Amino acid sequence: MDWLAEMPVAISVLLPVRDAAPYLPECIASLRAQTFEDFEVLAIDDGSTDESPQLLSAWATEDSRVRLVRQAPRGIVHALEAGRARARGRYLARMDADDIADPDRFAEQLALLQGRPDLAGCGAGVRYFPRAEVRGGGRRYEDWINAIRTPEDVERNLFIECPLAHPTFFLRADIVAQVGGYVERGWPEDYDLLLRLWRSGARLAAVDRVLLQWRIRGDRTSVWHESYTPEAFRRCKVHYLLDTLVRDRDGVVIWGAGPIGKAFAREIQAQGGTVRAFVELDPRKIDQRIYGAPVISAARVDEYRDSFSVAAVGQEGARGRIRAALETAGWQPGTDFVAVA
C-alpha cells in the first residue's frame, strides 16, 4: 500500500485534531459526503487524550484517502505543518474537526481556482452554529466575512480582521510553500499566512456561497489562547503594515483618537514606527497632543501627504466616511490609506 502514498491527488485536506471526539463524527460524515472525491485527508492527532485517535484510526481503516499522523501535543501550527509536509495535493484545504462542510465545498472552491488562475486561493461563506448561541457580535462578524468575495474586497478589509475564515482556506500548495507555510509568531497563524501571501503579490477571493458550518465553542483555542487576543491581532497588523505599506512613507497618520486609534499608536511606536498626527472630527480634541503627536482637523490632512493614513475607528459607517473624505482629497485606498480595527 506504500505506493498509494506517492500518488498525486487534487486536494490535500489539513485536519488537525485535539480532543474532538464529540464532534468528529459530523466532520467525518461531511468529508465523506463531498461530491468531489479526488482528495486525501491528513488527519493530525495532536496529542488527544479522548476517543479521537480511535475514531480517526477507524476512519483511516475504512477510507484509503485518510492518512493518520500522530504527534505529541505541540499546537495547531506544528500540526498543520506536519500535515503539509506529507501533502500530495495541488491544493491545500483546511478543515477543523468540529465543523461541517457542505457536500459541494471542495467542488465549488476547486472550480473557482481552476477558472481563475490569477488567484492563489479562496475561502467561502460560513454560518455559525448552534444558532441559539450566536450573539450580536457573532452575527455582525458573520455578515462582514460573508460580504467579502472579490480580491478587492479582501484587500480593502485585510487590516480590519482576517478576511477569509481559516477553516474555509483552499490554497494552491506551491504558493503556500513559496511563502513558508504556517509559522508560529505569537499571533494568529491563519492571518499571518494570508498577510504573507498578500505581501508576495498573491490575490485571494471567496466562493459566493456558505460552504461551511462553523461551530461556536467556548473552549476553542481561538477563544482562550494568548495568540488570538485583540492585542495579538494588533501586533500582527502593525508588523505587516510597517513592513509593507508604511515602509517607504514618512510615518503614520491615524484617523480617530479613540481607544482603537490610541491602541494602534502605542503598537506602532512599540514596533519602531512613527505616529505623525491624529485626525479628529471632534473639535474638543483638536490641538491636543497624544503620545507626542498633534491632533489635527481633517482639513489639515494634506499637510501629511508623505505619510500613510489608517482609519482606526470601529464603526463601518465611520470608516466609510473617512474613506470618502480621503478619496475626495486624492488619497488612494490600499496605496495611501487603509481601514484598521
CATH number of the CATH domain containing 43: 3.90.550.10
Average pLDDT value for residue range 192-198: 98
pLDDT at 221: 61
pLDDT at 271: 98
Q: Which domain holds residue 204?
A: 2-225
pLDDT tens per residue, range 56-72? 999 999 999 999 999 99
Considering the domain architecture, whether residues 39 and 88 belong to the same structural domain is answered as yes
Average pLDDT value for residue range 26-37: 98
Predicted confidence (pLDDT) at residue 1 exceeds the cutoff of 50? no
**Structural contact between residues 313 and 261, judged by C-beta atoms closer than 8 angstroms:** yes
Considering the domain architecture, whether residues 75 and 109 belong to the same structural domain is answered as yes
pTM, 2 dp:
0.94
Considering the domain architecture, whether residues 257 and 309 belong to the same structural domain is answered as yes
pLDDT at 2: 52
Predicted confidence (pLDDT) at residue 210 exceeds the cutoff of 60? yes
Predicted confidence (pLDDT) at residue 313 exceeds the cutoff of 90? no
Considering the domain architecture, whether residues 197 and 169 belong to the same structural domain is answered as yes
pLDDT tens per residue, range 130-164? 998 998 889 999 999 999 999 999 999 999 999 99
Estimate the crossing angle of helix 24-32 against helix 52-62, to 10 degrees.
Answer: 20
Of 3-12, 23-32, 292-301, 320-329, which gets the smallest average pLDDT?
Answer: 3-12
Kindly give, in sequence order, each residue whose CB lies less than 8 Å from that of residue 33, ignoring residues fewer than 6 positions away: 103
Domain final position from 202, 225, 248: 225
β-pair type (293-296, 289-290)? antiparallel
pLDDT at 224: 54
321 or 24, which is more confident? 24
Hey, which residues does 212 pair with through a beta bridge? 101, 126
Considering the domain architecture, whether residues 260 and 157 belong to the same structural domain is answered as no
For the chain, the residue count is 341
pLDDT at 222: 56
Q: How far apart are CA 98 and CA 29, in angstroms?
A: 11
Considering the domain architecture, whether residues 201 and 259 belong to the same structural domain is answered as no
The position carrying cell 466562493 is 207
Domain final position from 190, 225, 260: 225
Considering the domain architecture, whether residues 201 and 236 belong to the same structural domain is answered as no
Average pLDDT value for residue range 103-121: 98
pLDDT at 3: 47
Average pLDDT value for residue range 87-106: 98
Total domains in the fold of the chain = 2
Predicted confidence (pLDDT) at residue 217 exceeds the cutoff of 90? no
Considering the domain architecture, whether residues 156 and 239 belong to the same structural domain is answered as no
Domain final position from 225, 245, 279: 225
Average pLDDT value for residue range 82-93: 98
Considering the domain architecture, whether residues 175 and 97 belong to the same structural domain is answered as yes
Average pLDDT value for residue range 274-289: 93
